[in-house]
Amino acid sequence: GYFARVAREKGLHILCGAYRILRQEMGLPPSRLLAAGYLGHESHGYLKEIQDQMREWKLADEFEYQGELDREDKLRFFTQLHVFSTPAVYHEPKGLSVLEAMVSGIPVVLPNHGAFPEIVRNTGGGLLCAPNDPYDLARQIMAIRDDPVLAGQLGQAGAAGAREHYSSARSAERTIEALEKLCRTYWYP
């Protein structure tokens, strides 16, 4: 699954390419690729390109864009997923939806750039793939699919790690630590 703003830089087209590889080259049985998130007016053509490509690949019935979701629908959305990816083509600085998926116990596969390596290292909740590489993304997704023990371990580690390292309380603690350091350095040496 994918949950992020639907825009080229967020990489939904890469995930769709990986899905085609999984289905047509790696033997994944019929499955579903679910996507959701904000769709700005400027990205309607991008989503249409993706839908057209999925039709051309004969996979249109397995792709579903569920639109923008409120909190309840988003929580329900995550319960439908076995693996989560937002294969952003740029160096994503945060990845809030990644943390939301992890808290939901979903293993993630993310490109090895931006904030993603740190998130995976801190949580242990996923695997990294080469950026902009649908084949490597497909291989990592298949590794999780083919190893239910690994999938369970990643899901549990991600949920615990996201709560430990990225909760509101932990963010507040780090903000206070940074402000105290700033005060000691510049105002109260």
Q: Residues in the chain, how many?
A: 189
High-pLDDT (> 70) share of the chain, %:
95
Q: Where are the beta strands (DSSP E) in 105-156?
A: 108-111, 126-129
Instruction: Quote the pLDDT of residue 77.
Output: 97
Distance CA 1, CA 12 (A): 10
Instruction: Quote the pLDDT of residue 189.
Output: 58
Instruction: Quote the pLDDT of residue 159.
Output: 97
Q: What is the mean pLDDT of the chain?
A: 94
Q: What is the mean pLDDT of residues 166-170?
A: 73
Q: How far is CA 82 from the centre of its chain?
A: 12
| pLDDT over threshold 90, residue 175 | no
Distance CA 71, CA 69 (A): 7
| pLDDT over threshold 70, residue 170 | no
Instruction: Quote the pLDDT of residue 185.
Output: 78
Q: What token pair was written down for 18?
A: 């990986």
pLDDT-derived band at 176, boundaries 50, 70, 90: confident
Distance CA 32, CA 134 (A): 17
Instruction: Quote the pLDDT of residue 169.
Output: 72
* SS3 label, residue 164: helix
| Residues 29-78 pLDDT 10s | 999 999 999 999 999 999 999 999 999 999 999 999 999 999 999 999 99
Q: What is the mean pLDDT of residues 159-172?
A: 83
Q: Which residue has the higher pLDDT, 179 or 109?
A: 109
Contact 112, 131 (CB under 8 A): yes
Q: Give the number of other Cβ atoms within 10 Å of residue 163's Cβ.
A: 15
| pLDDT over threshold 90, residue 180 | no
Query: Can you give the pTM of this predicted structure?
Result: 0.89
